[in-house]
Amino acid sequence: MKKLLSTLALSLFASTAVNAVEKTEIEVGYPYSHLFNVTFERIMKDFKVKHPDINVKFRAVYEDYEDANNVILRESVSNNLPDVTMQGLNRQAILVEKGIAKSLEPFIAKEDDFEKEGYHQAMLDLSKFDKEVYGLPFSISLPVGYYNMDMMNKAGIKKMPETWDEVIGSCKALKKSGVKNPIFWGWNITGNWFMQAMLWSQDTPIIKDGDINIDNPAGLKAVSTMKQIFQECGMKNLSWKEALASFSAGEIGMMYWSTSALGAVERAKGDFEIKTHEFPGFDGAPKGLPAGGNAAMMVSTSTDPKRQEAAWKFIKFITSGEGAAAVAHTTGYMPPNKAANEIILSDFYKKNPNKETAVRQLPLLRDWIAYPGDKGLAVTQVIYDAMESIVVGDQDDMKALLKETAEEIKMLLPKKKVAAK
């Protein structure tokens, strides 16, 4: 018995000796295992070398952005939050409103060369609420055009379309050369992303001062252009899954979609050349585009400053330098970090020009706007339904459609407080 006790004591002593460098453990959650597992595996290799004193424990991977949001809300009820969580850019607001996400300002204030490390204004703006930064964007996607170059060449199109008029022109040329399905325009992408893209292209946010902002000339131009694209190009009403598969199989000439699908499309594509090009605008390039993707937020409930510091170090590591570069290396997304894109990744983009398209659009980065209030998802659906009615050809009068839609949305948005006189 005595012997047993002494061995026990000895082994205890030995284990404390090994742990002389005390490790701080932080817990991290992120979505989309099939996309980001590889990214984090790559990042962690470098992170462990640079911060041997921090032990990162990954939680079960969230299925998607909605799930990521749900899980954090649930975990805040059961008081079981991780330290860092990756959240969809349009899902951050609710975590800030509910006081779950922590402001990062105190940590940023302590950094000396924050801007030099590539954190620029447009990037920080994506996670700014009430003038405070609550997250650092980690991986960003923007809408781009995908082109089947074999079809484009056959139709004699030399210059990639830069405006929607040119897109419609290309459609006609493609049709003439025998392409049955010249275009897929991703109206059905999540969160009304493309509607917001059409509005941001004209520098118009879809929500302004808490109110819907579509019943105006910019909105009219957006939906009339959609109608033109759908009707004059003879676009088939495909689900996005069908569209991606159909484009990969070489049946669609031009596809407008998120740059994040590039990896999957290139993997699955048949024997033809794909090129990506900037998202077209109205008269010349778009003036802005909504950013998709996710940001790292701190949701730690720990009061231990060491642990908070470790969480901040992790957030910083994955959004700058080699950590940020890993995003471009492993996914179709890009890191929003300027320094990472311009210095570390310049060679990489030269070798992968299709991935560079979205990077060239970085200055256009705008908010992917979340609809305020509890009925935000219902608003998304109303706009989705309106766009669908254009796709299937149920609607002719665009003005009436906008008016009707805007009125319906007004009922769903939270009532504005009457300003005191």
Partner 1 sequence: MNHYHSSFTEILRHATLIVGGLVIILPFYIMLSYSFKSPHEIESNTGGFFGKQEVMVDEYCVKLGNTRKDCETTPIKFNYGNAFKKAPLLRYLINGIIVTLSIFFIQVLVALPAAYALAKLRWWGRDLVFSMVLFGLLIPVHAIALPLYIMLAKVGLINTYAALIVPWTISVFGIFLMHQFFKTVPDDLVDAARLDGMSEFSIVWRVMLPTAIPALLAFAIFSVVAHWNDYFWPRIVITGNHDLFTPPLGLREFRGGADGSDWGPLMATATVIVTPLIVAFLLAQKKFIEGITLSGMK
The footprint of partner 1 (CB under 8 A) covers 27, 32-35, 37-38, 41-42, 58-61, 63-64, 71, 74-75, 77-80, 82, 240, 244-245, 248, 258, 260-261, 263-264, 267-268, 270, 329-330, 332
Cβ neighbours for 288, distance < 8 A, ≥ 6 positions apart: 200, 201, 203, 364, 365, 366
Classify residue 167 by its DSSP letter: H
Q: Which of 150, 201, 218, 170 is CA-nearest to residue 406?
A: 218
| Angle made by CA atoms 210, 214, 220, in degrees to the nearest 5 | 165
* Shortest CB 145 distance to partner 1, Å: 17
- Rank residues 267 and 417 by Cβ distance to partner 1 and give the closer one: 267
Closer to partner 1 by CB, 219 or 293: give it: 293
CB of 130 to partner 1, least distance (A): 28
132 versus 322: smaller Cβ distance to partner 1: 322
Nearest residue (CB) to partner 1, 34 versus 417: 34
Angle between helices 321-330 and 33-50 (to 10 degrees): 150
User: Looking at beta carbons only, is 315 or 326 nearer to partner 1?
Assistant: 326
- Name the DSSP class of 281: B
Extract the tokens encoding 134.
């609550």
**Nearest approach, Cβ of residue 146 and partner 1 (Å):** 13
Residue among 119 and 257 whose Cβ is closer to partner 1: 257
Provide, rounded to whole angstroms, the least separation between the CB of residue 264 and partner 1.
Answer: 4
In 158-251 the beta strands, taken as DSSP E runs, fall at 181-185, 207-208, 211-212
**Encoded amino acid at 97, one letter:** E
Of residues 67 and 309, the one with the C-beta less far from partner 1: 67
Least distance to partner 1 from the beta carbon of 152, Å?
23
**CB-wise, 300 or 405, nearer to partner 1?**
300
Cβ at position 138, least distance to partner 1 in Å: 16
Residue 333: CB minimum distance to partner 1, A: 10
Other CB atoms within a 10 A radius of the CB of residue 203 amount to 12
The set of long-range contacts for 209-215, using a CB threshold of 8 Å and a minimum separation of 24, is 209/416, 210/372, 210/413, 210/414, 210/416, 211/410, 211/413, 211/416, 212/379, 212/406, 212/409, 212/410, 212/413, 214/402, 214/405, 214/406, 214/409, 215/402, 215/403, 215/405, 215/406
Provide, rounded to whole angstroms, the least separation between the CB of residue 33 and partner 1.
Answer: 5
376-391 vs 398-412: helix axis angle to the nearest 10? 170
- What is the Cα–Cα distance from 72 to 221, expressed in whole angstroms? 39
Report the first-to-last Cα separation within the chain, whole angstroms: 84
CB of 249 vs partner 1, minimal distance in Å: 8
- 31 vs 161, beta carbon nearer partner 1: 31
Query: Residue 96 carries which side chain, given as an amino acid letter?
Result: V
> Cα–Cα distance between 282 and 166 in angstroms, integer?
10
